[in-house]
């Protein structure tokens, strides 16, 4: 559901960039006051890399000619907490935009809001967290509850995000996408995508809960992890999964257009609208100069290749680990210094 710049007016893109910046700033402030212990810093990097790799795999929605990919907001929030999750997902989206030309620079604020804020803040806080909290006990959380909470939260988050996309195009005056017709396609297709992502999210969470239940409890209850807790096993297993997903499974991604592109084709007859103007040209110029593997392949290879896709999955995952983990480390360090000085 990555929006391109052509779907937005400069005014809407600018306002949504400001809104997302405020949400990220709020997240940073809450992290500095609450809990981001040093054990969760590597988790930010590794989970960000897993979401990056996961978003490369489009899965087919049977009978529609469409496909979808995970957003990852609920998965991140369930293991990191909502505020580190938003920062991690914002890092993933920035890397995708600048280095892989996936999602426009003008549209970055919209993508952060539509995929991050709606899931990490709204759906996690009001759907996932209450459902999981009711089933928490000394014996752990039953898998059926994890599945119900995951599917419900992901579906709500995606429905909210899809509606925001339609609303943003309306406010941008994109006449090729009439509000009613666009809405009637976007919501149902993202409902189907949400169910699949919910199942994937629940599967990963059930595995993590079986190995390290403290992670899910910590995120839901907003508490620190036990000092003696070792995350080595879970980190290694998630890294292996990331390599498999980004380096191998990404080669088998569906060739069908994703839910947004499919909806655009049904309404406008094309998934690639064009807009002219200095703002669009400037944003495109920045991405062209930074995207060293556009469309997740080697630059200059328009047809793409298996090697290029696999390399993009691995390289992107590594960059995500460095950026998301680095952001977590900087915030954690500053928080410790502020606490000591006080």
Full set of structural domains in the chain with CATH = 5-341 (1.10.1760.20)
Given a cut of 80, whether residue 106 has pLDDT beyond it is: yes
pLDDT at 68 over 50: yes
Q: What percent of the chain has pLDDT over 70?
A: 96
Q: What is the pLDDT of residue 224?
A: 85
DSSP element (H, E) containing 61: strand 59-61
Phi/psi of residue 105, nearest 5 degrees: -70, -40
Tens-place pLDDT, residues 44-59 = 999 999 999 999 999 9
CB 34 within 8 A of CB 223: no
Q: Is-contact 55 67, C-beta < 8 A? A: no
C-alpha–C-alpha distance, residues 184 and 201, integer Å = 26
Whole-prediction pTM value? 0.95
* Average pLDDT of the chain, as a whole number: 93
pLDDT digits (tens, 9 = 90+) for 199-246: 999 999 999 999 999 999 999 988 888 888 999 999 999 999 999 999
Which tokens is 171 given?
Answer: 């406010």
C-alpha to C-alpha distance for 52 and 47, rounded to whole angstroms: 9
The better pLDDT of the pair 332, 126 is held by 126
């Amino acid at each position: 559901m990555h929006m391109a710049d052509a779907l937005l007016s400069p005014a809407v893109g600018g306002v949504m960039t400001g809104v997302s910046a405020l949400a990220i700033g709020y997240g940073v402030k809450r992290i500095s006051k609450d809990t981001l212990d040093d054990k969760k810093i590597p988790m930010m990097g590794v989970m960000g890399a897993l979401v990056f790799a996961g978003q490369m795999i489009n899965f087919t929605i049977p009978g529609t000619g469409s496909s979808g990919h995970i957003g990852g907001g609920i998965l991140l929030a369930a293991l990191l907490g909502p505020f580190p999750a938003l920062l991690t997902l914002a890092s993933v989206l920035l890397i995708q935009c600048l280095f892989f030309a996936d999602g426009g620079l003008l549209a970055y604020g919209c993508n952060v809001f539509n995929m991050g804020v709606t899931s990490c803040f709204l759906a996690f806080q009001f759907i996932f967290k209450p459902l999981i909290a009711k089933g928490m006990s000394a014996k752990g959380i039953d898998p059926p509850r994890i599945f119900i909470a995951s599917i419900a939260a992901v579906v709500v988050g995606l429905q909210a995000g899809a509606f925001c996309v339609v609303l943003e195009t309306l406010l941008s005056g994109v006449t090729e996408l009439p509000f009613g017709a666009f809405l009637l396609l976007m919501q149902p297709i993202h409902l189907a995508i949400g169910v699949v992502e919910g199942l994937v999210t629940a599967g990963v969470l059930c595995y993590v809960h079986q190995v390290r239940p403290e992670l899910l409890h910590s995120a839901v209850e907003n508490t620190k992890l036990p000092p003696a807790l070792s995350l080595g096993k879970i980190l290694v297993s998630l890294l292996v999964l990331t390599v498999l997903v980004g380096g191998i499974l990404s080669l088998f991604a569906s060739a069908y257009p994703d839910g947004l592109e499919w909806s655009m084709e049904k309404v406008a007859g094309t998934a690639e609208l064009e807009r002219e103007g200095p703002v669009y040209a400037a944003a495109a110029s920045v991405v062209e100069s930074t995207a060293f593997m556009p469309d997740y392949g080697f630059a200059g290879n328009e047809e793409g290749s298996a090697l290029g896709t696999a390399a993009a999955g691995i390289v992107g995952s590594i960059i995500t680990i460095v950026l998301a983990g680095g952001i977590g480390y900087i915030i954690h360090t500053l928080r410790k210094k502020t606490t000591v000085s006080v």
